Structure 1
Amino acid sequence: MLYAITDSTLMPGELMLTKAQAALQGGCQWLQYRDKSTNQPLRLTQACALKSLCEQYNAKLIINDDLQLAIASQAHGLHLGQGDGSVQQARQCLGAHATIGVTCHDQLSLANTAIRDGASYVAFGRFFNSATKPDAKAAPLTLLNQARHLNVPVIAIGGITPDNSRRVIQAGASAIAVCHSLFACDNVKNRARDFCRAIST
């Protein structure tokens, strides 16, 4: 599965929807809205527009690190970094059917805690050099094999390209999360298709 993460620098203004739609047309199944700005009206407008767009393509919209925005936009779920909020609180507010994910870096113990608290999926990484978060701590591919026993989807993130995506899937990831390698591309739709082909084979 391809899990795309938006970037307001790569997708300013109207490009947010244009590039997001191209990713969905290319086969993206989950889309995370990530915008760290303080422009709350704009963030709500974009989140609501992305929610409608995702539903056209039978995809899920996940909000990054903002429970209130997830509630206001009626998104399908929420992604939390370490220290960015309580999984239990998010589950209480968003309900049993919401998709709630947690960043677990390179630690299985964080994943076990997140799952115990009600997480729907866990994310590990970075696995390769990342343009989005170059200073993020590296995680070994062997971690994905160790995480196979977890009873939730395991997402791999960090520097993943169509060329190396097969390695993380073979190592045990359920899906790959991408940002720069997808949305910095001139043809986002074709790049998404490249990712999906690599994952499926």
Structure 2
Amino acid sequence: MTPHDAEILKLASALKVPPQRFGYLRQVPLEDLRRFREQVTGVLFDAHLGVLQRMAAASKLLPSPLLARMAQLVFGPLLSARIAGLVDPARGVDIARRLPPAFLADVAAELDPRRASGITAGLPERVVSAVAEELVRREDWVTVARFVDHLPGSTIVASLEFIPDAALSHIAALLDDPARIAYLVSLLPDDHLGAIPGDLAG
């Protein structure tokens, strides 16, 4: 996977369209393509920000078990992901741990981890591992890579047992921060080090 292919795949994932539609973007300089993808993500998450902020504020009045139920039955994954970055992290963790892994995987696919870093960093390892296992089952490497970019090392290590070696090179190629590739390699057991090619691992 080339760096252009990785950026196009991440853009297509954000917009929920086939990556083939963006083949022409291979002619765009890589930094411009990355900047465009980040701008698209920003626009998507900032849409209706005022309404989302009011919803997040109103959620303080409701108990976590009720909010967890509403997230599944009323809000759905997309709206839950947008609100996640606006709630108190401890509150977000309390709600997330009450949700089933399949729903959290749906939310993760819609989430910008940079906006909910307090929640993702505070989730129990068992919750993250269960979500990682579900994302691996779906072969959603774009979402896995987004979270490898932001999760603490201990949580990544706990999730690695669910990720097949064959997928590690795809995940490494999709990481936003090149320094995280070397970090990911440093977390791998010795018998898995060859799963990430040397040209990616540096």
1 or 2, which has the higher helix percentage? Answer: 2
Larger strand proportion, structure 1 or 2? 1
Q: Max radius of gyration: which structure? A: 2
**Higher RCO, 1 vs 2 (CA within 8 Å, ≥6 residues apart):** 1
